[in-house]
Amino acid sequence: MRLPLEIECFYRLCGGVKMGIFEDDYFSWRVVAPSEFVSAIPLVLGLSYESEKSFWEYHWAQCFYRFAENQTGDERVVVSCGERHNGLYFDGYQESFACDDMRLISRTLPELLQELADATMGHMPRPAHPSQQVFLGQLQYAD
């Protein structure tokens, strides 16, 4: 794993952040603590991961780590710590996880934090502008 520099700097400054008006705000988002910065595969896939563990063990999706989630934990933002798309933030939605149509949420941490702060009702921030959209297939084979 190659931790993106901006995440490394962020974790040096603080151990995570919660974005919401009240402590138990149902619609808030939080950036996970360094101890919760773990592989996204088991979290996103849940029980299906256990039954297909040998497949996912060497899959290129191993580069995705949990970075933020809403209060209920049913929506999450994952960050790539891989070679080619290091530091890009994606929607950790189960149905599109590790697929070419996986939604890019942000290219930078400041942009992501702003999107999370602006997100309404605890839902996923809007995807990056279509002109900035990145498809994983293009990233994997880019020079």
Number of H-type helices and E-type strands within the chain = 6, 6
Contact 62, 36 (CB under 8 A): no
Q: Domain containing 13: what range? A: 5-141
pTM of the model: 0.78
Please give the tally of structural domains in the chain. Answer: 1
Of 112, 21, 113, 105, the closest CA to residue 71 belongs to 21
| Burial (Cβ within 10 Å: 0-12, 13-18, ≥19) of residue 1 | exposed
Look up tokens 């941490």; give the residue. Answer: 109
CA–CA gap between residue 129 and residue 143 (Å, rounded): 23
Phi, psi of 132 (to 5 degrees): -105, 5
List beta partners, residue 78: 66, 90
Q: 10-residue block means of pLDDT along the chain (143 residues)?
A: 89 83 68 92 80 74 88 85 86 74 86 82 57 48 38
Encoded tokens for 126: 């809007």
